[in-house]
């Protein structure tokens, strides 16, 4: 049987993660939108090495924060956590958007591909809107709002709208699973050795008659 102290500590940690995701989402959006500014700064460097280091650090920080957003959002894939805590109901869908942006970075040329960059921007903006909107208008309003606003905000809180929250939890886990499978297949195809020209030529020749 779970002790009350352990349950309280677990809820505290999960609530802290949900609050920290607000800052992580804002940082992910800010760093993604800061790309033109960072590119402009690279032109001011007199040494190519300094510009390369600046760009490498920026890209690394931007992608790490987005990865942290997705890893922190793992709490939205556990039905018992979603059902028993005052979490934003669309947190799982926001995690799907973050993972979709990461998948685009993996499977495309990322910043070198304009369409991929626009798609990443769309997914990051959508994910941030889904999370921040539900958290600020739902989880926060229910703690400080009036009775009328609390009733409206309760729709966006997972513990007070468990049926939809669990459905979105399972849907989000399914979508992430499908995209994870696509990422695995993509990596396996990259890892498989390409056929040698000699082998390919031998395979194309018809078999000799006996």
Domain coordinates of the chain in residue numbers?
4-190
Judge whether 88 and 139 are in contact, CB under 8 Å. Answer: yes
* Mean pLDDT confidence for 159-177: 94
- pLDDT, one tens digit per residue, over 37-77 is 998 888 888 888 888 898 999 999 999 999 999 999 999 99
Q: For the chain, what is the HEC assignment? A: CCCHHHHHHHHHHHHHHHHHHHHHHHHHHHHHHCHHHHHHHHCCCCCHHHHHHHHHHHHHHHHHHHHHHHHHHHHHHCHHHHHHCCCECCHHHHHHHHHHHHHHHHHCCHHHCHHHHHHHHHHHHHHHHHHHHHHHHHHCHHHHCCHHHHHHHHHHEHHHCHHHHHHHHHHHHHHHHHHHHHHHHHHHHHHCCCCCHHHHHHHHCCCCCC
- More confident site: 40 or 29: 29
- pLDDT, one tens digit per residue, over 134-149 is 998 887 887 665 566 6
* Mean pLDDT confidence for 114-119: 92
Give the pLDDT score at 198.
52
φ and ψ of 202, to 5 deg:
-70, -35
Whether residue 208 is predicted with pLDDT greater than 50 in this model: the reply is: no
Residue 177 pLDDT level (bands cut at 50, 70, 90) = very high
- More confident site: 84 or 124: 124
Rounded CA gap, 95 and 169, in Å?
10
- pLDDT, one tens digit per residue, over 66-115 is 999 999 999 999 999 999 888 999 999 999 999 999 999 999 887 788 89
Give the pLDDT score at 209.
47
Closest CA to 77 of 61, 50, 104, 96: 96
Whether residue 124 is predicted with pLDDT greater than 80 in this model: the reply is: yes
Rounded CA gap, 27 and 16, in Å?
17
Give the pLDDT score at 47.
81
Whether residue 2 is predicted with pLDDT greater than 60 in this model: the reply is: no
Structure-block tokens of residue 122? 């769309």
């Amino acid at each position: 049987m779970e002790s009350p102290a352990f349950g309280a500590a677990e809820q505290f940690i999960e609530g802290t993660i949900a609050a920290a995701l607000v800052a992580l989402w804002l940082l992910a959006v800010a760093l993604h939108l800061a790309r033109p500014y960072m590119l402009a700064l690279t032109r001011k460097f007199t040494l190519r090495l300094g510009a390369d280091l600046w760009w490498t650090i920026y890209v690394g920080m931007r992608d790490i924060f987005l990865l942290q957003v997705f890893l922190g959002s793992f709490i939205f894939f556990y039905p018992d956590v979603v059902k028993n805590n005052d979490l934003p109901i669309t947190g799982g869908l926001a995690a799907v958007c973050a993972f979709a942006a990461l998948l685009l970075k993996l499977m495309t040329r990322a910043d070198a591909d304009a369409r991929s960059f626009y798609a990443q921007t769309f997914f990051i903006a959508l994910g941030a809107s889904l999370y921040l909107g539900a958290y600020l208008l739902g989880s926060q309003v229910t703690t400080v709002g009036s009775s009328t606003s609390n009733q409206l905000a309760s729709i966006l809180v997972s513990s007070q709208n468990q049926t939809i929250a669990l459905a979105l939890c399972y849907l989000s886990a399914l979508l992430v699973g499908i995209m994870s499978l696509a990422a695995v297949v993509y990596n396996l195809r990259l890892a498989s050795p390409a056929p040698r020209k000699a082998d390919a030529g031998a395979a194309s020749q018809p078999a000799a008659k006996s």
